Amino acid sequence: MNSNKIQTEVLTDNFAKWDYLFTLLPDEIKSPFFTRQYYESYLEIEKGTIECFCCYLDEENFLFYPYLRRDINSLGYDLPAKFYDIAGAYGYNGPIGKVSEPNFVKYFNATLKNYLQQSNVVTEFVKYCPIVNNRIFHTYTNQIDVLDNVYIDLSKGIEDVWSNSFEHNVRNHIHKSEKNNMSTFFFQGNEINDKNLNIFYNIYINTMQRKDADKYYLFNKDFYNKLFHYLGKYSLLCVTYYHDIPIGAEIVLKGPKIAYGFLLGTLKEYNKLNTATFGKWELIKFLYKESIKIYSFGGGKERYDDIYKFKKSFSKNCNNPFFIGTYVHQPDIYEIIQSQWKERYPAAATKYANKIQGYRQLA
């Protein structure tokens, strides 16, 4: 491999090359989490500068890595210069692409690492996609198996899912729900109007407040409007009704072959109807008709908790570990930040001590 022929760029405003590289991905690994459109939507949630680090040799050897560059100084720490950290948008992130040359990954990581160090990045945090397994492209990070993801393999057909993927209790709950005059409707891209969005928003906020979720997850409506606008056909809204009452809703992000459960809510007073189970089954049938091969819907908050067990009941043989990646690029500066954080915000420093970018939590 002639490294002199590799084009290396850091995209910060003109993202045409990012769009182009995404089109070169095989359909089997095209995920909306790695699109420019998703990152532009996410700026409604977290402020920062979008960057995409790219290395391109040819259409069989390229990697691109979108992330947010975030200012650390603005958090109030006294530092000798301007410093930053980087992290992907909510969901999955990290480098992605195609590689056939044995040394291309090595070149990409050496060049990326050097760039981040030279541009005053202190820490890096990544959540790798367990479906596309893109962590293989990121060799210098400390990769930690933290949770288990659940996905359903649709490639063998709906009958196989029903008979071999679902646990017995899932099939029983679906049979009972089908007798309760329930139905699920699907809206894609520009079919998602204000009425549908408000239905989802009210159910989702109700769910998050009921579960006492972190305020971070209480995304505002502007985020959803931009998400559906920017992602278009990559976005799907599912609403489940009991008679004419909306009782459950889910947002799904999908590529040509993979769909990801993104956000989900149900109304507690209708839990006896097994809303989430019925909605999942209707969604699975819809995705199969759309030629989706994998439906991934995450795991729990902790390993083997009730959320994970519920999801696992839909895919009893699934084994799909989820990895995060961390790296400290500026150890001396990181030590200064950690020291000030512990001194000024001892409660937060204790609560978030195990997070590499915990210093962003000030209360």
The rounded distance, in Å, linking the Cα atoms of 184 and 36 is 30
DSSP H or E run through 105: helix 104-118
Q: What is the pLDDT of residues 275-285, one digit of tens each?
A: 999 999 999 99
Report whether pLDDT(3) > 90: no
Between residues 88 and 217, the one the model is more confident about: 88
Q: What is the pLDDT of residues 9-56, one digit of tens each?
A: 999 999 999 999 999 999 999 999 999 999 999 998 998 999 999 999
Sign of CA dihedral 211, 214, 215, 221: negative
Q: What is the pLDDT of residues 134-160, one digit of tens each?
A: 999 999 999 999 999 999 999 999 999
State residue 4's pLDDT score.
84
State residue 109's pLDDT score.
98
Report whether pLDDT(298) > 80: yes
The domains of the chain are located at 3-148+321-360, 151-297
DSSP one-letter code for 89: P
Note if the pTM is more than 0.85: yes
Q: What CATH architecture is 3-148+321-360?
A: 3-Layer(aba) Sandwich (3.40)
151-297 folds as Aminopeptidase (3.40.630)
Identical fold for domains 3-148+321-360 and 151-297, yes or no, is yes
State residue 2's pLDDT score.
83
Q: What is the residue-averaged pLDDT of the chain?
A: 96
Report whether pLDDT(1) > 80: no
Q: Contact, 322 vs 126, CB < 8 A?
A: no
Between residues 82 and 304, the one the model is more confident about: 82
DSSP H or E run through 239: strand 235-242
Report whether pLDDT(215) > 90: no
Q: In the block, which residue shows the tokens 């492209």?
A: 137
